[in-house]
Amino acid sequence: MKVEHDRSGTLRGFASDNNSGISPEVLNKIKKLNPGHVVGYGDDEYTEKAVEILKDNFGSGSFPYLVFTGTGANVLGIAAALKPFHSVICAETSHIYVDECGAVERFTGCKLVPVETPDGKLVPEMLKKYMVGFNFEHHSQPRIISISQASEMGTVYTIDEIKDLADFAHSYGLLLHMDGARLSNAAVTLKRSFKEITSDAGVDILSFGGTKNGLMAAESVIFFEEALTGEFKYIRKQAMQLSSKMRFIAAQFIAFFENELWKRNAQNANLMAQKLYAAVKVIPEIKVTQKVEANGVFAIVPKPAIPLLQKVFFFYPWNADTGEVRWMTSFDTCEEDIAEFTERTKEILSGL
């Protein structure tokens, strides 16, 4: 099946995969499950079905909970395993460190420890220096290593890389958390099932995202340790992430897995990123800075061109000093977008 593209909207852009709308299949599913009364707050058959589907995809030892936002999924999953004197070690580019306005710190009271990386990916070697202070009451106690898959730099951990991190974490008694806001994109890249790249690889807690891949507002926290789940329902409620009309978050996930919508959407986004990459890497003024492994392209662009380019295809600068920018493709990016953007870019660059 092919993804339908509707370019009739107000604006096209590469700002973020959440600037696109909702996959039509998802809206149809919401409409279909709308009639009648069901018990609120997730005690309904649709939510039960969505949870079953997630368990089918992530393994029988997975415990999924539905929430509204990616920040919510990250914070709540982490909070379930933390006491306030714990710390979380993460890449300094990670969403939890730089893009959530300190939500983890506020909600958990914990310390986040940022680690510098070249490509958004942690490796055990970088983490050894932080494995100190255990049992010493003056130090926040390391408890979670958090990685993003795909990373915020558009790179993807291999399964072996994840396993190495999981082994490393577990050898110190830590847990491995994965921010999977773009897990679908990584799964497509790795050509492996969700289960293989998460629970089978040693991940303990997962934020599994839908919103950036065609859902309206639907994310989930999936635990791969039953011990972490016992009190999660209270955390979700207290954190304001429990939907009263839960069936409609459930509907989105049900649609996500029908006919592998998640895969079709992510395949399109990844493919468009490759096409964008192919188009810009041959432009002499542009220097691509990261491997293109998911649905993001990072590149250094002549600074005067940036505001001009943003006017035609909106996107965000990544590093104002160096002129690095980020272009994200999404489930509804289409070849016309790439072509038009490339053409305009060339025009603008030649006119500088």
For the segment 112-151, give every residue that binds a copy of itself (CB under 8 A).
112-114, 132-133, 137-141
Cβ distance 198 to 204 under 8 Å?
no
The answer to the question of residue 32 lying near a copy of itself (CB under 8 A) is no
**Whose Cβ is closer to a copy of itself: residue 16's or residue 158's?**
16
The answer to the question of residue 7 lying near a copy of itself (CB under 8 A) is yes
CA dihedral 33, 38, 39, 45 (to 10 degrees): -60
Residue 317, SS3 per DSSP:
strand
The answer to the question of residue 13 lying near a copy of itself (CB under 8 A) is yes
The mark string for 209-228 relative to a copy of itself (x by CB under 8 A, - otherwise) is --xx---xx-----------
User: Which of the residues 146 through 205 are near a copy of itself (CB under 8 A)?
Assistant: none
- What are the E-state strand segments in 2-104? 63-67, 86-91
User: Residue 349: which of 283, 288, 297 has the closest Cα?
Assistant: 283
The answer to the question of residue 297 lying near a copy of itself (CB under 8 A) is no
**Whose Cβ is closer to a copy of itself: residue 69's or residue 199's?**
69
**Whose Cβ is closer to a copy of itself: residue 108's or residue 189's?**
108
**Which H helix or E strand runs over 115?**
strand 111-115
Q: How many Å apart are CA 177 and CA 206, to the nearest integer?
A: 6
**Whose Cβ is closer to a copy of itself: residue 217's or residue 283's?**
217
Angle at 27 between CA 21 and CA 33, to 5 degrees: 155
Report the nearest approach of a copy of itself to the CB of residue 220 (Å): 14
Q: Which stretch binds a copy of itself (CB under 8 A): 104-112, 157-165, 183-191, 275-283?
A: 104-112
Q: Which stretch binds a copy of itself (CB under 8 A): 84-92, 256-264, 280-288, 296-304?
A: 84-92
**Whose Cβ is closer to a copy of itself: residue 166's or residue 334's?**
334
Residues 6 or more apart whose CB falls under 8 angstroms from that of 229 comprise: 63, 65, 80, 223
Q: Which stretch binds a copy of itself (CB under 8 A): 29-37, 57-65, 117-125, 300-308?
A: 29-37
Cβ distance 13 to 313 under 8 Å?
yes
Report the nearest approach of a copy of itself to the CB of residue 6 (Å): 4
By CB atoms closer than 10 A (0-12, 13-18, 19+), residue 80 is buried
Cβ distance 289 to 350 under 8 Å?
no
CA 122 to each of CA 50, 102, 169, 220, 344: distance values in angstroms, whole numbers, following the listed order: 32, 20, 12, 23, 36
Is it true that the peptide bond before 91 is cis, omega within 30 degrees of 0?
Answer: no
User: Which of the residues 253 through 282 are near a copy of itself (CB under 8 A)?
Assistant: none
Contact pick of 3, 25, 29, 30 for a copy of itself (by CB under 8 A): 30
Number of residues that bind a copy of itself (CB under 8 A): 86
Contact pick of 87, 146, 189, 268 for a copy of itself (by CB under 8 A): 87
Contact pick of 57, 69, 149, 189 for a copy of itself (by CB under 8 A): 69
**Whose Cβ is closer to a copy of itself: residue 51's or residue 201's?**
51
Angle at 121 between CA 112 and CA 96, to 5 degrees: 30
